[in-house]
Structure 1
């Protein structure tokens, strides 16, 4: 059966809420997943992506490329048969205005992670 080949995914947003779980074909691209995330993004949130380029998907510590399929993005060692795969969603912060080095967003500065990856 074709339905048995579907992969169940859910997407964990930065605030801890989830989108999904939903079932996807293994040949679905990461770009298509990002479009589905944008379509189901919770309304009324302060931070919302505008395009798929504002969204990064992370699975098992790997940032997924838009051209990859779900099959190429999977880490079978970490998955349970029949289980739901959770991918983390990161939203790109607003761009800076080059003239005055201030965020283009109207909101005042909020507490955000200031991690540096070396």
Structure 2
């Protein structure tokens, strides 16, 4: 079965607990295309946090979906009930200005030591 004519109704759960959708997508659509749709639908206050498809990760059934795969390839028969709404989780990478500051301030200073076992 190619999945070209069928559609999957998807709701996207954002990191803050809000949702986008549900909206229907053809099973032949790529994950990258779906991510572009998410970027266009992000609420205005979240737009500044993500600018490209590579800033977004989609998680479904505990797996991160690859951009070049189709929804048909990512479909999980156990989780995706026919006629039901599928929920995918969206992880958004923070803007570059916020990326480095949190990690550096929360990491302890490194101490150097060496051990020799004879």
Do both proteins adopt the same fold according to a TM-score greater than 0.5, normalized to the shorter chain?
yes
5+ residue gaps, structure 1, are 96-103, 110-118
- Is this contact kept in 1: 2:6–2:26, CA < 8 A? yes
RMSD over aligned CA atoms reads 1.9
SS at match of 1:76: coil
Distance 1:48 1:54 in 2: 9
Structure number with the higher helix fraction is 2
Give the total of aligned pairs: 96
Distance 2:61 2:41 in 1: 23
Q: Which residue does 2:69 correspond to in 1? A: 68
Q: Which residue does 1:16 correspond to in 2? A: 17
1:48 CA displacement:
2.2
Q: 1:46 to 1:62 in 2, by over 3 A?
A: same
1:11-50 to 2 correspondence within 5 Å? 11-45=12-46, 48-50=49-51
Distance 2:47 2:31 in 1: 24
CA radius of gyration, larger in: 2
- Is this contact kept in 2: 1:11–1:21, CA < 8 A? yes
- Is this contact kept in 2: 1:9–1:84, CA < 8 A? yes
TM-score (norm 2): 0.74
Question: Residue deviations 1:76-112, cap 9 Å, x none?
Answer: 11222210000000011333xxxxxxxx23xx86xxx
Q: Which residue does 1:80 correspond to in 2? A: 81
Farther off after superposition, 73-82 or 61-70? 73-82
Moved over 3 A (4+): none
